[in-house]
Amino acid sequence: MARSALITGITGQDGAYLAEFLIKKGYTVHGIKRRSSLLNTDRIDHLYQDPHVEKRNLILHYGDLSDSMNVTRIIQESQPDEIYNLGAMSHVKVSFDIPEYTANTDGIGTLRILEAVRLLGMISKTRIYQASTSELYGLVQEIPQTEKTSFYPRSPYAVAKLYSYWITVNYREAYGLHASNGILFNHESPIRGETFVSRKITRALARIALGMQDILYMGNLSSRRDWGHAKDYIKAMYLILQQDKPDDYVIATGISTEVREFIRNAFAFIGVDIAFFGENLEETGVMKAVDENLFCEKVGEAHLSDIKNRMKNNPVFVKVDPVYFRPTEVDFLLGDSSKARKILGWSPEYDLDGLIADMVTSDMILMKKEHYIKEGGYKTLNYFE
Ligand code: NAP
Ligand code: F7E
């Protein structure tokens, strides 16, 4: 019989990639989606099957991690062999604005799943993956960070995830649950949420190159992150649940890069050489030169003269706005995933340049469509006219 998996957070970045990956492996995938006033299934629409299809391999359930009866019922009905708990309010900055909600979803939500599996008598059937995070290391106590490094969370998000990390360990030790933590460092992709720094940069880059945006306002440019590609990281989640013994694993590339450097590399991909001047709130990013052939290849000849004029007359395109600063910041993350590489046989296929190429290429296509519509090339309905 086909194995079955339940994914919370299936409408998110990782949930969408993981659902596709598991369906390709022959799984029946159940997913929890939240009710929203507009459809929020864009990332999984290509996998959707009408409820009338006889043997569906993707089945969506309305639900919410804050509703224990709902979570319990869905687990009972779907009888999953594997649960991937990816649902979370995942934005670190926003968690300072909605700390209680974040604790309920990202912390107690995990308890609701573990307890449901226990109360439903499914301990010997169901394996659980908990989406833990490098944010647990926060104010880092050791470089690089391993499974043995002490945690020092620096946001309501990270504190909620700390509870989830330990309650997962506790249910494993207390009840013998096959429950594991993947301590994943930042991972991005073309379907990353638009307000995370990587996607904010690649979207803005495309808009600036097409003349649709002037300035990219940024927060802390000096933060360093260990960035990987979500497509690589969801494979690690799967491998963790295929092990005979549950355990906790760091998943990371082992390379740490400054936000500033991410911006520089992204612009280099379209042939624009940039530099940063000034300090703190006065720091600016400036366009210095353009490789015309590369720019024409990646953006298009039609936009070359505009970018050259921009560079001559108004080259500043990055400014700092303190609105994006966090009350407490995580300055530096660098993961050591030796354990996962050795035991799971996992290693990433994408490096940072490959990730940036994938994201910028995708956002160029998206923004060109938007540009075309804006220029009146495609007539859309305006409900407010
Ligand atoms: P994401 O794109 O923000 O997706 C989060 C998912 O959780 C979405 O499907 C969202 O639903 C859902 N969700 C939010 N609140 C919920 C609630 N109350 N009940 C049920 N579902 C809820 O996040 P991601 O990047 O895919 O990350 C997946 C998981 O890994 C998260 O737990 C995140 O905290 C963790 N993580 C992420 C990274 C990373 O770098 N991406 C690194 C380490 C750990 P809507 O679509 O309706 O909003
Ligand atoms: O910020 C700095 C910001 O929001 C990265 C989540 O998936 O990964 C993610 O959390 C860094 C921070 O990700 C802007 O201050 C500068 O230092 O992309 P981010 P995050 O906070 O690291 C971890 C592993 C998770 O678990 C989380 O769920 O970039 N930064 N300027 C900025 N960040 C944002 N968002 N916007 C800026 O304008």
Share of the chain above pLDDT 90, in %: 93
Distance CA 210, CA 304 (A): 9
Q: Is 135 a catalytic residue?
A: yes
**What per-residue confidence (pLDDT) applies to 383?**
46
Distance 28 CA to ligand 2 centre (A): 33
| Residue 65, both tokens | 């991690």
Cβ–Cβ under 8 Å, residues 252 and 243? no
Count, residues in the chain:
385
62 pocket-lining for ligand 1 (C-beta < 6 Å): no
Cβ–Cβ under 8 Å, residues 129 and 240? yes
Atom 46 in ligand 1: which residue has the minimum CA distance? Answer: 11
**276 pLDDT band (50/70/90 cuts)?**
very high
- Considering every ligand atom, which ligand is closest to the CA of 96? 2
187 pocket-lining for ligand 1 (C-beta < 6 Å): yes
Atom 25 in ligand 1: which residue has the minimum CA distance? Answer: 13
Distance 15 CA to ligand 1 centre (A): 8
225 pocket-lining for ligand 2 (C-beta < 6 Å): yes
Distance 237 CA to ligand 1 centre (A): 14
- Render pLDDT for 57-103 as a digit per residue (tens, 0 to 9): 999 999 999 999 999 999 999 999 999 999 999 999 999 999 999 99
Distance CA 196, CA 200 (A): 6
Distance CA 192, CA 91 (A): 12
Distance CA 175, CA 364 (A): 50
Domains of the chain: 4-184 (3.40.50.720), 197-221+259-331+350-374 (3.90.25.10)
Q: Which candidate in 157, 171, 233, 238 is catalytic?
A: 157
**Does residue 381 surpass a pLDDT of 50?**
no
Q: Which candidate in 11, 105, 129, 135 is catalytic?
A: 135
87 pocket-lining for ligand 1 (C-beta < 6 Å): yes
Average pLDDT over the chain reads 96
- Render pLDDT for 178-227 as a digit per residue (tens, 0 to 9): 999 999 999 999 999 999 999 999 999 999 999 999 999 999 999 999 99
**Does residue 1 surpass a pLDDT of 90?**
no
**Does residue 302 surpass a pLDDT of 80?**
yes
**372 pLDDT band (50/70/90 cuts)?**
confident
Distance CA 127, CA 15 (A): 17
202 pocket-lining for ligand 2 (C-beta < 6 Å): no
Q: Is 258 a catalytic residue?
A: no
- Render pLDDT for 20-47 as a digit per residue (tens, 0 to 9): 999 999 999 999 999 999 999 999 999 9
**385 pLDDT band (50/70/90 cuts)?**
very low
Beta bridge partners of 217: 319
164 pocket-lining for ligand 2 (C-beta < 6 Å): no
Q: Please state the pTM of the whole predicted model.
A: 0.97
**52 pLDDT band (50/70/90 cuts)?**
confident
Share of the chain above pLDDT 70, in %: 97
Cβ–Cβ under 8 Å, residues 75 and 109? no
Distance CA 138, CA 334 (A): 11
- Render pLDDT for 132-152 as a digit per residue (tens, 0 to 9): 999 999 999 999 999 999 999
Select from 17, 91, 155, 197 the residue to mutate for testing ligand 2; criterion: most ligand atoms less than 8 Å from CB: 197
Distance 45 CA to ligand 2 centre (A): 27
Select from 30, 90, 110, 136 the residue to mutate for testing ligand 1; criterion: most ligand atoms less than 8 Å from CB: 90
**What per-residue confidence (pLDDT) applies to 50?**
86
- Considering every ligand atom, which ligand is closest to the CA of 224? 2
**What per-residue confidence (pLDDT) applies to 229?**
98
Q: Is 28 a catalytic residue?
A: no
- Render pLDDT for 152-168 as a digit per residue (tens, 0 to 9): 999 999 999 999 999 99
Comparing CA positions, the residue from 215, 231, 257 lying closest to residue 362 is: 231
Distance 13 CA to ligand 1 centre (A): 7
**376 pLDDT band (50/70/90 cuts)?**
low
Distance 106 CA to ligand 1 centre (A): 9
Nearest-atom index, ligand 2, CA of 184: 24
